[in-house]
Every structure is written in C-alpha cells, then in structure tokens.
Amino acid sequence: MEKRIEVLSRRLQGYKFTPQRRLVLEVFLENEGDHLSAEEAYNLARVKDKDIGIATIYRTLDLLEEVGILHKSDFGDGRKRYELSQEGQDEHHHHHLVCLGCRRIQEVEEDLLNQLEGLVEEEKGFLIVDHRVQFYGYCRPCREKERG
C-alpha cells in the first residue's frame, strides 16, 4: 500500500503531495474497483481527517484525473464518479454494468466494439476518440434476491 501510494504520487510532479491529496489517494486504493462520487470519497476521507473540506475533494479529484491516476465516469445519476485508472490500460475501453437494483457498478473487460467503431468511422466519417458503454440491468445477487 505504502509502495503503491509512493509510485502513484510520482505522477504528481509539479504539484505538492499534501496530506489531503495522499488521503484521497488512500481512499481510492482502499476501495479499489469502486466508482466513488465526490461525496462518497468525502465521507470516506473524513473518517481519517474530519476537517477535510469538500472543495478540496473536488479539486483533488480533478487533479488526480488530470495526471491519469483517476478516471472520471458519468452514469447518469446526477453525479460524477471516479475510479482508479488501471495501470497499463489505454484509458479507452471501459464497459460498465450498472445494476438497477443495488446501483453497484461492475466492469466488463471485453472490447467487442472495435468492429462497430470501424464501421462508424467508415460510414459516417466520424473520428472516434473515446466511447462510453453502459449496460443497465440486474446483477446476479439482485436477481437471486428477487427470486428468493
């Protein structure tokens, strides 16, 4: 954990690695795989530093996204969400499963969209630089609970 924080913090060259910024980073490392909203990150951070401000959270999220540590998403629930960027991933292939039951978000790895993208570029002359794919439905636990 210490090691990972240290490695990630190197991307903050030119910016100070303040206790608050470190704290936000910790929160995301401790909740890896989660897609946290600013408020959620704020609440988690406040457990360790009750004086941290929400504005600092927003500013830190912006910063961490700018340097590529976090990735911002929007699932249409009225707030932006952030997740730890996967190392070595080219930042372009994100598929999310948004459960309409529990609102949990999981990821899918496959990228079968490439052929579709090729078609679109060819037919529409539209140069694709990013895409967003979200599936809405019900995850296995929610489906089982429903049946139960």
Binding positions for DNA, rule: CB under 7 A: 15-16, 18, 20-21, 37-39, 49, 51-56, 58-60, 62, 78-80
Are β-strands 95-99 and 105-108 bridged in parallel, bridged antiparallel, or unpaired?
A: antiparallel
Distance separating alpha carbons of residues 12 and 18, to the nearest angstrom: 10
Contact set for a second copy, span 25-54 (CB under 8 A)? none
Query: Which one of DNA, a second copy, none is in contact with 147 (Cβ closer than 5 to 8 A by kind)?
Result: none
In what helix (H) or strand (E) does residue 107 lie, and over which residues does it extend? strand 105-108
- Tell me the closest approach of the beta carbon of residue 55 to a second copy, in angstroms: 18
Distance separating alpha carbons of residues 21 and 61, to the nearest angstrom: 9
CB 52 within 8 A of CB 23: yes
**Count of other CB atoms within 10 angstroms of residue 33:** 10
Is position 130 an interface residue for a second copy (rule: CB under 8 A)?
A: yes
Query: Which one of DNA, a second copy, none is in contact with 132 (Cβ closer than 5 to 8 A by kind)?
Result: a second copy
Contact set for a second copy, span 52-111 (CB under 8 A)? 74, 76, 95, 97, 99-100, 106, 108, 110
Widest Cα–Cα separation across the chain = 55
List of residues contacting a second copy (CB under 8 A): 74, 76, 95, 97, 99-100, 106, 108, 110, 112-113, 115-117, 119-120, 124-140, 143
